[in-house]
Amino acid sequence: MAVTRARQIAFDILSRVESESAYASDLLHAALHSGTSPADAALATELTFGVLRWRRQLDFLLDRRLQKSVLHLDLAVAIALRMALYQLRFLDKVPARAAVNESVELVKQARKSSASGLVNAVLRRMAEEASEPAEKYLPLGLAAAERLGILHSHPTWMVARWLARLGEPRTIALMEANNRPPRLSCALYDAEHRDEIIHALERSGLQIALGRLLKNAFAASGGSPAESAVFRAGGISIQDEASQAVPLLLNVQPGERVLDLCAAPGGKTVALARAAGEKGSVIAADLRAHRLRAMEAQFKRLGLRGVQSIELDALQPLPFTVPFDAVLVDAPCSGTGTLGRHPEIRWRLAAPQLAEFHAMQTKMLVNALGQLAPGGRLVYSTCSIEPEENEDVVSEALRSLPAGAPSVWRVSAGEAARGLAPHLASGVEASELFDSAGTFRTLPGQWATDGFFASLLRRA
């Protein structure tokens, strides 16, 4: 029996995600080239992200039918089982026979034929109970974090800390948002020709919806905006709306000198450079040369000139002798605000890593604060929703400034909101996005965005 192209693509990508610590979104982008039919592309994407999002629940259910845990099986066998069970429980339009038989064939193709009988027997039994809710099989007396972690397929340690901080209803809402396909949001650069750009995208077969947060953002479905003529011509980029909002907090003015300290992949740099204009100066820095090259290719597509890219380690003393009017530190982080977009993160991240991120982020922020000109502004941001990487970093960095250094303070909520307000979509109040300390924050599920944190600071 032949394996359909969609299932083969998903199987290969899931294997590489596990064995190479690759990211599914990157692998799918490379695999789903123009020769793949829309139906195959849709199913491959659904299987890949579905298995990654629901892996814990799938493994819990599979372990009931196996003599040893899924985690101790050969990788090919584990992935074939997960793929089939995901189809049985979550995809109503996929025949059970196809899901089971093709997973058996995938195991054979992976030269694990000795396990094919096991896979076939286990999956046929599980097909009979596929309509039963997972909660039916939970042992009695499980702690809340364990129970919710299985039902909503998140690590127990992550659920426990969210329960303590957010409470059960908000934690469940957060996990439900993480288990939904994220909105494919785009930034639109030429507001004067907005209608023309939207109509061109619709003529290419895309369905377009207005941005929920920003007036110059929109969401696309029914295809890939990256394959459109508008994208190739530099009229749009693919970027989450909360991510688009972060550089706007700096309120960069024409002619200013700007530093984007952790710039790749460059989406925020674009907004900074457009605001600074031809008379401004923008430096985009990053640790990895290959990321800088990819960023420069994006700038070329967008026709963006005047951005100087520099390879540097933001943990080391910075090499700049002239201070900056505006600095963005979009720091490397755990990415817990992007678990819907990058579900593999939830299985790779461990609680002790948050302290490691905190130390690194604090050092970067202290270094960056030393580059501000008098009156200069700095935005520190992450796509994490964990306090250790967010407000705790800002607090420690401000305490850690060298003796005699100029004063730096958090900008008030009112001032931060005023800078963002002109960019917001109709009906969105800037005050909804900031807390009393002036912190910008989004959670998955609130605005159909990723989870972001940003704090605006100013030097005396």
What is the tens place of the pLDDT at every residue in 296-342?
Answer: 999 999 999 889 999 999 999 999 999 999 999 999 999 999 999 99
Q: Same domain for 62 and 81?
A: yes
Q: What percent of the chain has pLDDT over 70?
A: 100
Q: Same domain for 297 and 396?
A: yes
Instruction: Give the residue-averaged pLDDT of 145-171.
Output: 98
CA distances from 379 to 14, 310, 372, 409 (A): 36, 20, 11, 12
pLDDT digit string, tens, across residues 75-114: 999 999 999 999 999 999 999 999 999 999 999 999 988 8
For the chain, give the mean pLDDT: 95
Report how many domains make up the chain: 4
Q: Same domain for 251 and 234?
A: no
Q: Between 367 and 190, where is the model more confident?
A: 367
Identify the sign of the CA torsion 159, 160, 162, 167: positive
Q: pTM above the 0.85 mark?
A: yes
pLDDT of 1 > 90? The answer is no
pLDDT digit string, tens, across residues 199-208: 999 999 999 9
Q: Same domain for 395 and 246?
A: yes
pLDDT digit string, tens, across residues 38-55: 899 999 999 999 999 999
Q: Same domain for 338 and 370?
A: yes
pLDDT at 2: 82
pLDDT of 415 > 70? The answer is yes
Q: Same domain for 369 and 279?
A: yes
Q: Same domain for 165 and 53?
A: no
pLDDT at 34: 66
Q: Same domain for 295 and 414?
A: yes
CATH number, domain at 224? 3.30.70
pLDDT of 115 > 90? The answer is no
Separation of alpha carbons 333 and 276, rounded Å: 27
pLDDT at 33: 76
Q: Same domain for 189 and 278?
A: no
Q: Same domain for 128 and 161?
A: no
pLDDT digit string, tens, across residues 226-253: 989 999 999 999 999 999 999 999 999 9
Q: Same domain for 78 and 197?
A: no
Q: Residue 151 belongs to what domain range?
A: 142-179
Q: Same domain for 282 and 350?
A: yes
